[in-house]
A = this chain, B = another copy of it.
Amino acid sequence: MGNETDGRGGGGIASRRGFLKAGLAAGGAALAGGGTALAREIGNPDNLPPNVPDWSRYLGDGVAVRAYGKPSQYEGHVIRRDVEWLTASRESSVSFTPIHELDGPITPNGLCFERHHGGIAEIDPRDYRLIVHGLVEKPLVFTLEDLKRFPRVNHAYFCECAANSGMEWRGAQLNGCQFTHGMIHSVMYTGIPLRNILAEAGVKPNGKWLLLEGADAAGMTRSVPIEKALDDVLIAYRMNGEMLRPENGYPVRAVVPGWEANMWVKWLRRIEIGDQPWYHREETSKYTDLLEDGSARKFTFVMDAKSVITSPSPQMPLNHPRGFTVISGLAWSGRGKIAGVDVSIDGGRNWRRARLDGPVWNKALTRFYFEFDWDGSPLLLQSRAIDETGYVQPTKDELRKVRGVNSIYHNNGIQTWHVMSSGEVENVEVS
């Protein structure tokens, strides 16, 4: 199904000019060229006038028949997916956000990636308890109702697994951004600044580290320095307005903005304050970055600036052979706001500034677009994020020179998609 008009007459040219002007007015970077128009003239016999299908003839379902709504039956392919060979069991595994099927800066709750170590804890909120103890003046225990009495704040933050893109350290492996970059989501949290909880308990002067423990069967634990806890960590119980989903920590999880998702302990049951880190499994044998010389980087908490083009991508090919083309992607940084995103269509030789659209939040996913007139020749698409600290997303080779390829963590290198003339897309490396 093509998208060309017959291209006859001055009307088409005038219309094209009008479109470009409008595109620029929207902040776009439409390029002049011999592109095709984006609509079909009704005069063309291939272009049917509006049909009158059954949904215009017969009554549909009434209100509240779907008391809690779900997507259209035609969107059944837009789901989280796992990779069966990647892990030994689904209870300790990962599913990936279908970022190629989404747009804008918000991830809908039903599609947020999962990473569990003992499966989903199904917590009865009446029996939920959070204990705060250790180096505090007054050990405390909170019910969910207690927590809901604290002043709340609302922030959107990205949550990215440290192993996101981890398979790509050793070259292009997975053919789709859902799998190369889908261990990320970004939602609007409602929660309590952790510093307010700690103020209730009264942290003793020698309290320097926190242990966060989950109530899942894995009893997930991570050590968090007190400076971060007093800065922007949230004890969150809502995402995008409603209560957290079970797979995202219902009823209460830690939100540790900009830091690796493994520290965002779900089903949070215990906060212990101590004078040093605990060196538990998830911060020693896991979630450290093994270097070439056999030493390991530890406590590499921050997720550095990164970006990926979500459309086109291997699972979302271009469905038109040439002409005006919209590139859509995501950028984020654990160190603050995104300052800009550059896009290359020639494998990194030339870069042009993309258009950021929608909110540009601190430590949250930012949507970018790059619009251009595709001549139908093969492309090597890349994006690179620049954050407000001035940090520029590196190439994968630059990262490998410094860190080797032993680790599966913290790969924030530039991703390359090879777009063929057919519109098909594959995951490649350029050197």
Give residues 189-217 of A contacting B (CB, 8 Å): 189-190, 193, 195-196, 199-202, 215-217
Chain A 100-136 interface residues, beta-carbon cutoff 8 Å to B: 101-112, 114-116, 118-125, 127, 129-133
A219 contacts partner chain B, Cβ-Cβ < 8 Å: yes
Given A121-B56, A151-B30: A3 and B247 interface contact (C-beta under 8 Å): no
Knowing A49-B141, A129-B48, A269-B50 are in contact, say whether A216-B60 is a contact too (CB < 8 A): yes
How many Å lie between the Cα of A194 and that of B86 in the bound state? Answer: 45
Q: Please, how many angstroms separate the alpha-carbon atoms of A89 and B61 in the complex? A: 11
**Given A18-B200, A22-B195: A149 and B72 interface contact (C-beta under 8 Å):** no
Q: What are the residues of chain B within 8 A of A112 when measuring CB–CB?
A: 69
Residue on B with the closest CB to A29?
A: B151
Instruction: Assess whether B71 is in contact with A122, with CB atoms less than 8 Å apart.
Output: no
**Contact yes or no, B75 A243, CB < 8 A:** yes
A85 within 8 A of B: no
Does A32 belong to the interface (CB within 8 Å)? no
Flag if A201 contacts B15 (CB, 8 Å). Answer: yes
A69 touches B37 (CB 8 A): no
- Of residues 205 to 235 in A, which have CB atoms within 8 Å of B's CB atoms? 215-217, 219
Q: Is A200 a contact partner of B243 (Cβ separation < 8 A)? A: no
Of B68, B75, B107, B120, the contact of A241 (CB 8 Å cutoff)? B107
Q: Is A275 an interface residue (CB 8 A)?
A: no
CB of A33 within 8 Å of the partner chain: no
**A424 interface hit (Cβ, 8 Å):** no
A79 within 8 A of B: yes
- Bound-complex Cα distance A62 to B81 (A): 12
Task: Contacts A154-B104, A319-B145, A320-B149 given; indicate if A243 touches B71 (C-beta within 8 A).
Answer: yes
Let me know if A111 and B68 touch, CB within 8 A.
Answer: yes
Q: Does A245 contact B (CB under 8 A)?
A: yes
The stretch that binds B, out of A294-302, A324-332, A395-403, is: A324-332
User: CA separation between A319 and B146, bound complex, in Å?
Assistant: 10
Q: Which of A120, A149, A200, A325 has the most CB of B within 10 A?
A: A149
Q: Considering the chains assembled together, what is the distance between the CA atoms of A91 and B354 in angstroms?
A: 45
Say how far A381's CB is from chain B's closest CB, in angstroms: 17
Is A171 located at the chain interface by the 8 A CB criterion?
A: no
7 intermolecular pairs with C-beta atoms under 8 Å apart: A38-B200, A39-B140, A60-B122, A69-B110, A72-B251, A78-B243, A106-B241
Sample of 18 more A-B contacts, CB < 8 Å, known A58-B217, A72-B123: A22-B193, A53-B124, A56-B215, A63-B93, A63-B94, A64-B80, A64-B90, A69-B112, A70-B70, A70-B110, A104-B188, A108-B240, A110-B242, A111-B241, A149-B326, A151-B369, A188-B358, A359-B359
Instruction: Name the 4 nearest CB pairs between A and B, nearest first.
Output: A62-B90, A154-B358, A60-B119, A18-B199
